[in-house]
Amino acid sequence: MIEALLGQVRNTALIIGLVALVGLLLQKKKSSEVISGTVKTIIGFMIFNIGSGAMSGVVNNFSKLFNLGFGVEGVTTQVEVATALALNEFGTEVALVFVLGFIFNLIIAKFTKFKAIFLTGQHFLYFGAVLALVFIALGSPMIVTVLVGGLVLGFAGAALPSLAQPFMKKITGSDDIAMGHFNLIGYTFAGWVGKLFAKSAEKEESDSSDVNLPDFLKLFRDFVFSVAVFMMVLFYVATIACVVNGHMDVVKKMAMNDIWFIWPLLQGLQFAAGMSVLIYGVRQFIAEITAAFVGISEKYIPDAKPAVDCPAVFPFAPNAVLIGFVGALLGGFLGMWLMIMFKSPVVLIPAAGIAFFSGGTAGVFGNAYGGWKGALVGSFLVGIGLVVLPLVLYPAFAQLGIAEASFPNIDYNIFGAVIYAIINFMKGLF
């Protein structure tokens, strides 16, 4: 009986449902809304799992092909897949870090001068997964993992947005929103790089909005579409590398028929389909939790500042978003090439979704002072960071079974790597 109950506790969907239930009760919703909200949250999490299953299947195929074709281990920096893998292995720990992170964020915003309330729920979950994995990799007991992980997460949510706030003020022209996307160190850096181009931007009076971008680039503003195209291209590269290196038999076996050249196309689309399902699920289970978080913070911490997801800054410089997307992708490819040149045992491959959202935001930050040059160079450098930084923690995570994908975002990796290094060092002392 107790065994069976503990088994249920490992069920992350139920934990998330419980959080939504508490949130809805705290908001004093009608009982019908409480029931439907809770049930929909649990279903949302299950949909997330179905989507992530579909995506990891495709990522698995891709890594096999890439490894065979190029003779190096290729890992995509797809945060959704990495988080899903982490949730499969350590669902309880990740979910509890996530929940405590929210609570600590509220407490820190209430009592310290760090006033941001981090409202991008899915990003909170990803960072929570990284922190849980770091502590688990260090062999911490569960209570330490959950408490310290939650505290660090809450601190990052409340404090990191203030780094980027001066740039947010310049971009939005007001001081009432903060950036809530864990590349804040990267965005601040991009903004600072943009300042280096401030003189030339003033001289030419060039804002990125004057640059005429080709129409086909605008297609890539559709997130699911650009993910599909990008995965197709990656699949063709890996498949052709296999064929050229004499592994046609493996390709045919994986494609399960002789017209192997259509298969990479379908795999790319399949990946995007999985992504759509996953996003649908995330939307359902994040919705209730975010609403509760907003409700609580507006009531009890009225001077807090909402930290919001990156598309919130896109309207302020739409062209810089696309310049940033291209810049981050180019940076990602350079990073990948560097890893191949220096014979890194694993090669991290940039992901389209990350390049769009994180690169696009880096572009907006770079553009704030530096015009289109600032947008391009800033996002290019951030793009390198997005594929190179995960190298540091990858070996620790791979040991835990999180090997097919990796967490790209800059703040997770810097925080995670620093914590990992400090605790490892302290462990050596005793």
Partner 1 sequence: MYKALVACRAGMGSSLLLKIKVDQVIKENNYPIETEHGNLDSLIGYTGDLFISMEDLAEELRDTVKYAIGIRNIVDKNEIQSKLEEYLNFESNQ
Contact pick of 241, 276, 333, 398 for partner 1 (by CB under 8 A): 276
Sequence-distant (6+) residues with CB within 8 A of 308 are 119, 120, 177, 178, 179, 180
Q: Where are the beta strands (DSSP E) in 72-166?
A: 73-76, 116-118
Contact between 50 and partner 1 by CB under 8 A: the answer reads no
Contact between 119 and partner 1 by CB under 8 A: the answer reads yes
Q: Which is nearer to partner 1, 182 or 369 (CB)?
A: 182
Contact between 228 and partner 1 by CB under 8 A: the answer reads no
C-alpha closest to that of 16 among 274, 275, 278, 287 = 287
With CB under 8 A as the contact rule, which of the stretches 17-25, 66-74, 312-320, 330-338 interacts with partner 1?
Answer: 312-320
C-alpha closest to that of 381 among 410, 424, 341 = 410
Contact between 279 and partner 1 by CB under 8 A: the answer reads yes
Extract the tokens encoding 261.
């050249």
Contact between 23 and partner 1 by CB under 8 A: the answer reads no
Contact between 207 and partner 1 by CB under 8 A: the answer reads no
Contact between 212 and partner 1 by CB under 8 A: the answer reads no
Q: Which is nearer to partner 1, 44 or 74 (CB)?
A: 44
DSSP for 221-245 reads: TSHHHHHHHHHHHHHHHHHHHHHHT
Bridge partners of 75, per DSSP, are 348
Extract the tokens encoding 314.
């896109």
The footprint of partner 1 on residues 286-305 (CB under 8 A) is: 286-287, 290-291, 294
Tell me the pairing of strands 346-349 and 116-118. Answer: unpaired
Contact between 218 and partner 1 by CB under 8 A: the answer reads yes
What φ, ψ does residue 141 adopt, rounded to 5°? Answer: -65, 160
The footprint of partner 1 on residues 315-334 (CB under 8 A) is: 315-316, 318, 321
Cα 386–chain centre separation: 10
Contact pick of 84, 146, 156, 177 for partner 1 (by CB under 8 A): 177
Per-residue DSSP letter, 405: B
Contact pick of 1, 141, 143, 176 for partner 1 (by CB under 8 A): 176
Contact between 416 and partner 1 by CB under 8 A: the answer reads no
**Shortest gap between Cβ of 337 and partner 1 (angstroms)?**
28
Contact between 222 and partner 1 by CB under 8 A: the answer reads yes
**Shortest gap between Cβ of 121 and partner 1 (angstroms)?**
7
As a whole number of angstroms, the distance between CA 260 and CA 239 comes to 9
Contact between 120 and partner 1 by CB under 8 A: the answer reads yes
**Shortest gap between Cβ of 24 and partner 1 (angstroms)?**
14
As a whole number of angstroms, the distance between CA 424 and CA 256 comes to 46
Q: Which is nearer to partner 1, 236 or 280 (CB)?
A: 280
Contact pick of 88, 195, 283, 334 for partner 1 (by CB under 8 A): 283
**Shortest gap between Cβ of 316 and partner 1 (angstroms)?**
7
**Shortest gap between Cβ of 333 and partner 1 (angstroms)?**
23
Contact between 308 and partner 1 by CB under 8 A: the answer reads yes
**238 contacts 65 by C-beta, under 8 angstroms:** yes
Extract the tokens encoding 9.
């506790």
Contact between 26 and partner 1 by CB under 8 A: the answer reads no
The footprint of partner 1 on residues 352-391 (CB under 8 A) is: 353, 357
Bridge partners of 308, per DSSP, are 179
* Burial call 131-143: b when 16+ CB within 10 Å, e when fewer: bbbbbbbbebeee
Contact between 109 and partner 1 by CB under 8 A: the answer reads no
Q: Which is nearer to partner 1, 40 or 195 (CB)?
A: 40
Report which residue type is found at 100. Answer: L
Q: How many CB atoms lie within 10 A of CB 113?
A: 9
Per-residue DSSP letter, 358: I
With CB under 8 A as the contact rule, which of the stretches 10-18, 249-257, 284-292, 387-395 interacts with partner 1?
Answer: 284-292
With CB under 8 A as the contact rule, which of the stretches 16-24, 105-113, 217-225, 253-261 interacts with partner 1?
Answer: 217-225
Sequence-distant (6+) residues with CB within 8 A of 148 are 135, 140
Contact between 123 and partner 1 by CB under 8 A: the answer reads yes
**49 contacts 281 by C-beta, under 8 angstroms:** yes
Contact between 180 and partner 1 by CB under 8 A: the answer reads yes
Residues that bind partner 1 (CB under 8 A): 119-123, 172, 174, 176-177, 180-181, 218, 221-224, 276, 279, 282-283, 286-287, 290-291, 294, 306, 308-312, 314-316, 318, 321, 353, 357
